[in-house]
Structure formats: C-alpha cells, structure tokens
C-alpha cells in the first residue's frame, strides 16, 4: 500500500486557506482533514471525532508527555493539538491528510516530522486582504490593525514552506493546489518503490515476452 501524503496548509487570517481546503476536500478522494484535540467543552452542534476530539486536561497532558501531538498550543486557557496517532493511522492506510493550521503550528509540525508538505496561502495584495477581513464584519479598527500586524509578521515565514499559492480566486488557487498534490505524488522517491520490476538487474527481453 502506498503511504498517504501529509499536506500542511496555513497562511494569514483572511487569505482564504479554509475556503481552499473545503473546496479541495469536496472533490478529493482518499483525503482526510485532520481533526484537532481540545480540552474545551463541546459547543452546540459539535460532534466528537468530527469537530474535535474532546479530552479532559489530564488526558491531554498525558498524551502531550507521551509525544502524541504533532503540534499544540494553549488558547484562552484551553489546550489544542494535532494528534500524531490519528494522522499516522491515516497515512499508513494510504490516505492523504490535510492539516489546516496557523503558522506557529506548522513550524511545530516541521520540528516533529520529516514528511510534511507545506503550502502557504497568500492574498493577492494586502489591500485585498483588508477588504476580505472587513467584509466579515467582525473586526473593530483596533482588531483590524492587530490582524494586519500579525499578517505582515506571518508572511516573513514563507521561506519555511515548500509551496506558495496566491488566492486571487478560489478556482485558480484550487488549480494550483491540485497541481502541487499531483507533483508530489510523482516524485521519484515515491514512485520507485511501486515499480520494483523495472529496477535492478537487466532482464532478458525473451524472458519478459515469454
């Protein structure tokens, strides 16, 4: 069985990484969006194993000590993390895994695994990023400034990624994500293990034809 690929997708808030991931997952076969674990209580409508894996703090901290998180963070007193065992299980089954996480989480994943493929989603311009955030209608002038300061800082980490996708339109960005996935599946190191009969000693043509 061919091992699945781990794609880590992140970018500044408002760049559209969530929209791109959702669009890709609607058409992609054999692909799983990683589900995070958290210590916060479930909200109305959230489902165990679909929205999050809900753990109490003691259980989360035990798994953390055991090294079962590819990345983790504490946000407003609650712990969040990407369970390594769940990701590893899917990859071993030949299923591609997508992690849609922030930049700091992606950098932690880089520290904890060597097989991630890292994609950075960018807006076409900072002006467009501002327009997209404003359209959400959830930002104050102060929070908008904070988001922009954070975006400028986050973009400085783009050199840590393997690919960059500029989200001018969702369809264009989706085309580029498809191309990245296909290119990664065609890497020599991944193809060769599946064509062992084409490698090694020279064959006698008559032996092959029979």
102: domain CATH number is 3.40.50.300
Does residue 210 form part of some domain? no
Rounded to 10°, the helix 126-136/141-155 angle is 140
pLDDT tens for the chain, 210 residues: list them.
Answer: 689 999 999 999 889 999 999 999 999 999 999 999 999 999 999 999 889 999 999 999 999 999 999 999 988 899 999 999 999 999 999 999 999 998 999 999 999 998 999 999 999 998 888 888 888 777 788 888 888 888 889 999 999 999 999 999 999 999 999 999 999 999 988 888 777 666 655 555 555 555
State the pTM of this model: 0.85
Does residue 156 form part of some domain? yes
CA distance 37 to 48: 10
Does residue 56 form part of some domain? yes
Does residue 203 form part of some domain? no
* The predicted structure's pLDDT at residue 142: 84
What is the extent of the structural domain holding 101?
6-197
Q: Which long-range contacts (CB under 8 A, 24 or more apart) does 124-133 make?
A: 124/166, 124/167, 124/168, 126/151, 126/152, 129/12, 129/14, 129/15, 132/14, 132/16, 133/13, 133/14
Does residue 208 form part of some domain? no
Number of domains in the chain: 1
| pLDDT digits 0-9 by tens, 2-57 | 899 999 999 998 899 999 999 999 999 999 999 999 999 999 999 998 899 999 99
* The predicted structure's pLDDT at residue 210: 55
* Residue (of 14, 206, 17) closest to 106 by Cα position: 17
Alpha-carbon torsion angle 150, 155, 156, 158, nearest 10: 140
Does residue 134 form part of some domain? yes
Does residue 151 form part of some domain? yes
Does residue 205 form part of some domain? no
């Amino acid at each position: 069985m061919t091992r699945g690929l781990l794609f880590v997708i992140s970018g500044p808030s408002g760049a559209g990484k969530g929209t791109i991931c959702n669009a890709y997952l609607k058409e992609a076969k054999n692909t799983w969006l990683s589900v995070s674990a958290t210590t916060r209580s479930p909200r109305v409508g959230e489902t165990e194993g679909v929205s999050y894996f809900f753990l109490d703090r003691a259980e989360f901290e035990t798994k953390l000590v055991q090294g079962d998180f590819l990345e983790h963070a504490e946000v407003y007193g609650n712990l969040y993390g990407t369970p390594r065992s769940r990701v590893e299980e899917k990859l071993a089954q030949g299923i591609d895994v997508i992690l849609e996480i922030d930049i700091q989480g992606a950098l932690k994943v880089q520290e904890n695994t060597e097989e991630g493929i890292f994609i950075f989603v960018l807006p076409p311009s900072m002006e467009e990023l501002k327009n997209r955030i404003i359209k959400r209608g959830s930002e104050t002038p102060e929070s908008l400034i904070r988001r922009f300061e954070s975006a400028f800082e986050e973009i400085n980490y783009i050199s840590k990624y393997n690919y960059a996708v500029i989200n001018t339109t969702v369809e264009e960005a989706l085309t580029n994500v498809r191309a990245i996935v296909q290119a990664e599946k065609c890497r020599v190191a991944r193809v060769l293990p599946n064509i062992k009969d084409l490698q090694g000693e020279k064959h006698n043509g008559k032996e092959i034809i029979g």
